Amino acid sequence: MNAATAHNSPGAGMPGVITAADATHMSLNSSLISANLAAYTILVLAAFQWLLIFVSHCVLQRRYVQRRPFVDRPIDDYPGVTIIRPVKGVDHGMQRTLESSFRQEYPGPVEILFAVEDPDDLAIEVVSNIIARYPKAQARVLIGKDNVGINPKVNNMLKAFDQAQNDLLWICDSNVYTDPGTLRRSADLLLDNKRLGVIHHVVFSESPTSFAGMLDNAFLVTNHCRMYLAINAFGIASCLMGKSNLYYKSALDNVGGIASFGQYLAEDNMIGQALWHSGWAHTMTGDLARQPADIGSFSEYCSRRIRWVRTRKYNVTFATFYEPLTESILLGSLTSWALGHIFGLSIVATFTTFMSCWFALDMIFFYRINHGSPPSWLWFVLSWLCREALALPLWVVAITGDTVVWRGQRFQFYLNGTVKVL
């Protein structure tokens, strides 16, 4: 449309009348504003994620590299502790993991209870042999199954909770190894701060026996561990895994007791939230809950990741839907577009720089928390790259379903986090 035509168009120059050219211009301005808003929002989210990475490295330095020494206090100050180990089947490296409970350098009384469902479980022989090597230890095997819900771990542990002689409990999975000073450092924190009601230890995967195990190892010791430390550093909500937790039985009884959590598949998360909302603060020592990365197949790795996401979707919904923005490839792609849109930077160069920095910090994080190199840097890097590439596709698959398979049983989730057996 030329100037003369525009001048002679109906409504041209009349107050309150919008021409086609005006509408097009307004639409372009609106699109530009929307794009700018999206770009700045992405940059804010990216800055927040880099802040979390920075915080995780600070926590790593303060708590794990410079691990807290024992507190010099009278032996009589240390409370009695009951260690509960739920056992089912023979895990890889089980003798080493279970024996770590007997080697704790703890000055107070310690009771160790192994909970087993099936009297024919082969794990009973392994446990009995370990107990025989430590005749002075107060250790027992409890056999039998209660049925208070769909959670097999809760059903197995209930008898140990009922028979525990101490109020302070340490729930530790059978495939977890802990350093000898873990229990004493945990008790020191509880004794120093009476508001603390939960001590938990970050999960650390080690000794992978397959490439699938390497994928799990790459996830747990970088992305998961890093986010776990950062979120807990802010302390604004409960965030824990049930691999290795200490809490008071009396506190748990006040929020319904262990049996009331049998209706949830993620009983650890629900216990943590219940204790948090009842006023018990959470914290961690500088110790790791080390577990062997014994995943045997790629499909098993994918199934485990999908199960984790689907479980969290019904327990911590917002965090689960936000999770893709904590992954390097998606966030790096969005950040590269945003910087290109606002500042005209090369998207390819920005993405390459973003991923290189993310990769370098993850490698530094692993080296420092592991206090050394992996068995093979080449395989670790390859598994890290594959894990990063798989993160978003597995999340999409997980978020679109509502059933999981765990220990040979299929479960379906309800919106309130409870499940039923299919």
61 C-beta neighbours (distance < 10 Å), count: 11
Place of tokens 């978020």: 399
User: How far, in Å, CA of 150 to CA of 418, rounded?
Assistant: 9
Tokens of 380: 């670790």
Task: Let me know: does 91 contact 292? Beta carbons within 8 Å.
Answer: yes
72 is catalytic: no
d(C-alpha 193, C-alpha 198), whole Å: 11
Task: Return all residues near 191 (Cβ < 8 A) that are at least 6 apart.
Answer: 71, 73, 77, 78
Q: How far is CA 391 from CA 7, 23, 86, 395, 398, in A?
A: 58, 43, 30, 6, 11
Sequence-distant (≥ 6) Cβ neighbours of residue 12 within 8 angstroms = 6, 19
Tell me if 180 sits within 8 A of 92, measured CB to CB.
no
Q: How far apart are CA 140 and CA 77, in angstroms?
A: 25
Pick the catalytic residue from 188, 268, 287, 294: 268
Within 8 A by CB and 6+ apart from 80, the residues are 108, 109, 110, 111, 165, 166, 167, 168
Q: Which residues contact 133 (CB under 8 A, 6 or more apart)?
A: 99, 102
Residue with tokens 């350098």: 105
- Do 308 and 224 form a contact (C-beta atoms < 8 A)? no
Closest CA to 54 of 192, 233, 189, 310: 233
Q: In the chain, what is the greatest distance between 2 CA atoms, to the nearest angstrom?
A: 104
What is the token pair recorded at 357?
């920095």
Number of residues that this document lists for the chain: 422
Cite the active site residues. 268
